[in-house]
Amino acid sequence: MEKVKGGIVLGKRYEVLSKIGAGGMADVYKGRDTMLNRYVAIKVLKKEYREDDNFVRKFRSEARAAAGLMNSNIVNVYDAGEDRGLYYMVMELIEGITLKEYIKRKGRLSHKEIISIAIQICTGIGAAHAANIIHRDIKPQNIIISKDGKVKVMDFGIAKATTSHTVSSNAMGSVHYTSPEQARGGFSDAKSDIYSIGITLFEMATGRLPFEGDSTVSIAIKHLQEEITPPSEYVEDIPYSLEQIILKCTQKNGERRYANTDDLIRDLKRSLVDPDGEFVLIPPLRNADTVIITDEELDDIRSNYDDDDEYDDNEYEDYRYGDDRYDDRYDDRYDDEYDDDRRGKDDEDVNPGMRKVMKVLTAVVIVIILFIVIFAIGKAAGIFSSLGQNAILEDKEDEEIEVPSLIGMTEEEAKEKLDKKLGIKVVGSEESDQYEKGKIIKQTPEKGEKVKKNTTIKITVSSGITVKTQTVPDVTGMDEDAAQKELEDKGFKVGTSEFEYDDRYSAGEVISTSPSAGSEAAEGAEVIMRVSKGTEKKTVPNVVGKKDATAQKELVAAGLVIEEVGYEYDDKVAKGKVISQSIKGGKKVEAGTSIKIVVSNGKKPEEKVEVPNLSGKTYQQAKALLESYGLVAAKGGEEESEEPVGKVSRWSSAGKSVKKGTTITVWISGGIREPDSEPEPTPPTQTPTQTPTQTPTQTPNSGGDSQTSDPNSTPEQ
């Protein structure tokens, strides 16, 4: 099988990074939108389905079904396209796990957790229903819980757009969660999704599925013919109202379920504040819930599920983006091929739909003939006449009717419910703290009493809702659970909390509420708590080597406080750039943490010193003084000078500034010498060859040095 490799770019925009999930029809990859610089999920149709126009059509249909839905509780679809033979869909990337995996980890969920998740599921599905889209494959595998607790519905793979209240289709969702009407291949509408939500609620509450079987067909038939076991038989402490909500969602007859997700959400919220209340109203049973399945219909169900083997539980394996199996059993084209193989060559020219109609008509004719024969025999024996007479007499004299509950209905709805068997009369009106104007709030006789036919039920209707207000308590700084209890004790409903970073409060403490503390709100009003996630950790940027101004700007933008900026000479770092930072780059710290940086002043300049005055010092004293200044002394010799003998007469670079380490030449005074006397005349007796000794005198040179010599000495340098 061909795989999409990381590094490929689809549509010149979406870079494929890594594989994160797989389904029967498509693989899911983590990708990056290079235009908007954000991570996305990319669903790519598998190679074996790309050449099949039918599968390509289904893939595009999913994109169309979901693309128009932008809701915080739906995995949003951003884009779809085809590139180099690859059909792809770009979706919102959610980091989290499926509800199926979450249930496996926890076993079963708490009352509040179930309702919180269910409300978010219903909000997402309700948005789809408002857009005339039925999901038809709601199950925990298609619901993701993000890391921040957000619940999102995904995978509209077999969703169907509709412009009316119902749609007819062979497409069915996962058999454990499919509605009876889907299992039978009939109509599916918004109430079919509500049935699947009910099965999901059952699994969250009990940690198990209501129906199990060896094959998909056996499970589908159980959805049609068997009642769901009340969850309280598995979980004793389940709230009564939640159990009734689950049972109402999973009624066999769609008319007895919730009409829409808004009604379901309303009861879910009420269950939070009144867990054991008896406010869930399941419409009375008018027709039998169980269904008789003919052999022909059973064959159709088998062909729809294409399940002759044992049920394979791996079909519902969890993927990070759900189990998006697009099986050919959901395709009319493949159903027809299956029927053709089953019928054989003799029926090749018979239209499959007409064949089904003929079977049904044949069965109806047989039933009618049997009825006529039985009726004729019974009438001849006088059975029906006597039974009819007795029944009429009993109906007139002794028939009693159990009074149904009319609470919450309008007068017209109550008349329709009583179906002319009982009368109704309005005897007054009162304000109500629960029911809107015109709704029944009292009845006499009450629900469950036995009365004779045609008895008049006296009713009191609501003149309007009495709005009682309550001051919202201040729960700021309290733990989330304690704050919720405080609000609920005051009669408020607590909605899903909002979380944000706040360094003023520890993680889990309440920052504020909406409505705000101290304000007046209606009793039972919903209060949303803003809860602290603690101090936000900031990543310290690495600013070493960056310019001073740029570094400071980045540190401030990261939420840090610059405590100090130092400056040092550095031969390796250019002037004005950062040499070091007190907290290493990449480290996570709390917002507002102080940081120090050191900036380069460039190369260190060469140090100069002023040559000191050496006058009046001996050579040794001059040498010591020069060395204290960092200079080197060198003896220049002795010279004729007015300075005292043995004292410094002069020195090089006098009065100048020189680099440390410079050699300073020092000359020493030899004093001023008297000129030599003239030689006496040579005695006459002197040998003519003898030459008088000369005493040369050297004039001080231009450098100020002076030297003298005599016949008995060598000049000192």
**pLDDT exceeds cutoff 60 at 230:** yes
Going by C-alpha positions, the residue among 432, 124, 117 that lies closest to residue 272 is 117
pLDDT surpassing 70 at residue 212:
yes
pLDDT digits (tens, 9 = 90+) for 421-465: 888 999 888 888 778 888 999 999 998 888 888 888 999 999 887
pLDDT of residue 129: 93
Give me the pLDDT at residue 53, please: 79
* Pairing status of strand 608-610 against strand 657-659: antiparallel
More confident residue, 345 or 448: 448
Specify whether the CB–CB gap between 277 and 271 falls below 8 A: yes
Q: Which of 73-77, 188-192, 198-202, 683-687 has the highest mean pLDDT?
A: 198-202
CATH topology of domain 9-92: Phosphorylase Kinase; domain 1 (3.30.200)
Overall size of the chain counted in residues: 717
CB-based contact 218:335 (threshold 8 Å): no
Alpha carbon distance 269, 528 (integer Å): 13
Handedness of CA 99, 152, 501, 478 (dihedral sign): negative
Q: How far apart are CA 11 and CA 28, in angstroms?
A: 16
Return the pLDDT at 156: 74
CB atoms within 10 A of CB 410: 16
Single-letter amino acid, residue 344: G
**pLDDT bucket at 123, cuts 50 / 70 / 90:** very high
Full 3-state SS string of 108-133: CCCHHHHHHHHHHHHHHHHHHHHCCE
Instruction: Tell the burial category of 405 from Cβ atoms under 10 Å away from its Cβ (0-12, 13-18, 19+).
Output: middle
Among 119-123, 132-136, 159-163, 256-260, which is the least confidently predicted range? 159-163
Residue-level pLDDT at 378: 60
Average pLDDT of span 187-206? 93
Model pLDDT for residues 16-74, shown as the tens digit of each residue: 999 888 776 788 999 999 999 999 999 998 888 787 777 788 777 777 777 778 888 99
CA distance 626 to 632: 6
The predicted-structure confidence for 284-309, as pLDDT tens digits, reads as follows: 875 544 455 555 666 666 665 554 43
Return d(Cα 305, Cα 335) in angstroms, integer: 10
Q: Convert 203-214 to b/e letters by CB count within 10 Å (16 or more is b).
A: bbbbeeebbeee
pLDDT in tens, 494-506: 887 888 888 789 8
User: For position 199, what pLDDT does the model report?
Assistant: 97
Catalytic residue among 27, 33, 137, 155: 137
- For the chain, the average pLDDT equals 79
Residue range 189-200: mean pLDDT, rounded: 95
Stretch among 1-5, 354-358, 463-467, 705-709 having the lowest mean pLDDT: 705-709
Torsion sign, CA atoms 97, 115, 227, 364: negative
CATH number, span 608-670: 3.30.10.20
Structure-token pair, residue 81:
């396209």
Asked whether the predicted pLDDT for residue 336 surpasses 60, the reply is no
Active site residue 300: no
Q: Which range (243-247, 277-281, 306-310, 469-473) has the least confidence? A: 306-310
- Highest mean pLDDT, choosing among 303-317, 484-498, 672-686: 484-498
Nearest to 91 by CA among 74, 76, 70, 81: 76
pLDDT band at 371 (very low <50, low <70, confident <90, very high): low
- Residue 681 has a pLDDT of 63
Asked if the model's pLDDT at residue 617 lies above 60, the reply is yes
pLDDT at site 162? 44
The whole-angstrom separation of Cα 399 and Cα 377 is 30
Cα 289 versus chain centre, distance: 41
- Please confirm whether the linkage preceding 605 is cis (ω < 30° from 0): no
Question: Using CA atoms, how far apart are residues 205 and 130, in angstroms rounded to an integer?
Answer: 28
pLDDT value at position 684? 60
| Contact present, 89 and 43 (Cβ < 8 Å) | yes
CA distance 184 to 75: 30
Compute the distance between CA of residue 91 and CA of residue 279 in angstroms, rounded to an integer.
40
Q: How far apart are CA 684 and CA 681, in angstroms?
A: 9
Domain boundaries, the chain: 9-92, 97-334, 354-398, 404-465, 469-532, 537-600, 608-670
Q: Which two tokens stand for residue 80?
A: 């779809």
Sequence-distant (6+) residues with CB within 8 A of 554 are 541, 543, 546
The residue with greater pLDDT, 468 or 247, is 247
Helix, strand or coil, per DSSP, at residue 541? coil
Q: How far is residue 521's CA from residue 531's CA, in Å, rounded to a whole number?
A: 20
What is the per-residue pLDDT for 293? 57
Return the pLDDT at 302: 61
Looking at residue 295, its pLDDT comes to 59
What letter does residue 253 receive in the DSSP assignment?
A: S
Question: Quick check: 592 and 561 in contact, CB under 8 A?
Answer: yes
pLDDT score at 297 = 60
Residue 655 pLDDT > 70: yes
pLDDT for 708 beyond 60: no
Across 83-94, average pLDDT: 90
Q: Is the dihedral of CA 666, 670, 671, 676 positive or negative?
A: negative
Percent of the chain with pLDDT over 70: 74
Which range has highest mean pLDDT (99-108, 324-333, 503-512, 528-537)?
Answer: 99-108
Q: Class for domain 537-600, per CATH?
A: alpha beta
CA 343 to CA 337: how far, in whole Å? 10
Predicted confidence band of residue 472 (pLDDT cuts 50, 70, 90) = very high
Confidence of residue 311 (pLDDT cuts 50, 70, 90): very low
Asked if the model's pLDDT at residue 268 lies above 80, the reply is yes
Specify the pLDDT at position 697: 41
List own/partner pairs for 222-230 with CB under 8 A and 24 or more apart. 223/175, 223/178, 223/179, 223/180, 223/183, 224/180, 224/183, 224/184, 224/252, 224/290, 224/291, 224/293, 225/290, 225/291, 225/293, 226/290, 227/252, 227/289, 228/202
DSSP 275-344: TT-----PPPP-S-SS-PPPHHHHHHHHHHHT--S---GGGG---TT------GGG-HHHHHHHHHHHH-
Given this chain, do its domains 469-532 and 608-670 carry the same CATH topology? yes
| pLDDT for 377 beyond 70 | no
Residue range 390-418, pLDDT digits in tens = 433 444 445 688 899 999 899 988 988 88
Q: Would you tell me which CATH number, out of the four given (1.10.10.1800, 3.30.10.20, 3.40.50.150, 3.40.630.30), belongs to the domain 404-465?
A: 3.30.10.20
pLDDT at residue 158 in the model: 53
Q: Which two structure tokens, joined as six digits, stand for 431?
A: 């304000």
pLDDT in the model for residue 454: 84
Model confidence band, residue 341 (pLDDT cutoffs 50, 70, 90) = very low
39 and 32 Cβ atoms separated by less than 8 Å: yes
What pLDDT sits at residue 171?
42
Domain 469-532 has CATH 3.30.10.20: yes
Does the structural domain 97-334 have CATH classification 3.40.50.620? no
